[in-house]
Structure 1
Amino acid sequence: MAITMNHLIVPATDRTTAATFFADLLGLRVAPQAGPFAPVRVNDDLTLDFDDRRDPQPGHYAFLVDDDTFDAVMERLQSGSADYGSGPMSGWDREINHLGGGRGVYVRDPNGHSYELFTADPA
């Protein structure tokens, strides 16, 4: 049997705000509340479940995306006010990187989490 990640709980000070930020970033939608969670289905196998927590510790969540998705994300970022940049060493410089021969960007959400989106595996 292959191993597939099914869901991941993302701590947030406000689950609805955090889920909406993430869904808007990737052009997804927030599903109806499921128990205490504000779920966002990323693909057929993975859902991020945003959960209210006091003082959530920032996490890092990385996603390999296709070029069309990356372009759409960059359009939303360039027209919005979210912090984004080329990488941890450069801060939120509103630039992209070219690691692994593709394009990549880091985005900071209101809880301090960073979402990394890249078009080629940088490994």
Structure 2
Amino acid sequence: MPATFNHTIIASLDGADSARFYTELLEASPAPSWGPFTNISLAGGVMLQFAAPPVQIQMQHYAFLVDDAHFDRAYAWLVQHDVEHWADPQMTRTGETNTEHGGRGVYFKDPAGHGLELITRPYF
């Protein structure tokens, strides 16, 4: 069987708050939670687990591929919730999206400060 991505733990200051943020933005489903983890489920059975780390949170980058209709809904959600966003990872083009790689993209941060990216076309 070829390897597939199954789950990851995302360090968060408040697992429930982070799970809610990702669930609304990514149109994900809640998943059974246990122990220190608040879990959500993405397409293909991929689980995101949110938990407070025992050490200072180091910023990570997570990119999500969505279709054009989802991108429009997610971007409207970002604007409606006053989430600062950028067209570039250097955070110089505030309040914009990009059209690189043959699709659209946007960068922003989650409640714990992780760098997120939504794209409508894969890079390869």
TM above 0.5: yes
Given residue 11 of structure 1, which amino acid in structure 2 is its aligned partner?
A: A
> Percent identity at matched positions?
37
1:16 alignment counterpart: 16
2:60 alignment counterpart: 59
The answer to whether the 8 A contact 1:105-1:118 is kept is: yes
Partner secondary structure for residue 78 of structure 2: helix
Alignment of structure 1 residues 85-104 onto 2, 5 Å: 85-91=86-92, 93-104=94-105
TM-score (norm 2): 0.89
The answer to whether the 8 A contact 1:13-1:55 is kept is: no
TM-score (norm 1): 0.90
How far 1:89 sits from its partner (Å)?
2.3
How far 1:28 sits from its partner (Å)?
2.3
How far 1:92 sits from its partner (Å)?
6.2
Partner secondary structure for residue 20 of structure 1: helix
The answer to whether the 8 A contact 2:29-2:42 is kept is: no
Distance 1:69 1:76 in 2: 10
1:68 alignment counterpart: 69
The answer to whether the 8 A contact 1:4-1:45 is kept is: no
2:42 alignment counterpart: 42
CA gap of 1:13–1:92, structure 2 versus 1, over 3 A, is: farther
Partner secondary structure for residue 2 of structure 1: coil
- Alignment gaps of 5+ in structure 2: none
How far 1:27 sits from its partner (Å)?
2.1
Alignment of structure 1 residues 21-32 onto 2, 5 Å: 21-32=21-32
- Alignment gaps of 5+ in structure 1: none
1:117 alignment counterpart: 118
Given residue 78 of structure 1, which amino acid in structure 2 is its aligned partner?
A: V
CA gap of 1:91–1:37, structure 2 versus 1, over 3 A, is: farther
**1:5 lines up with 2:38 in the alignment:** no
| Aligned-CA RMSD value | 1.6
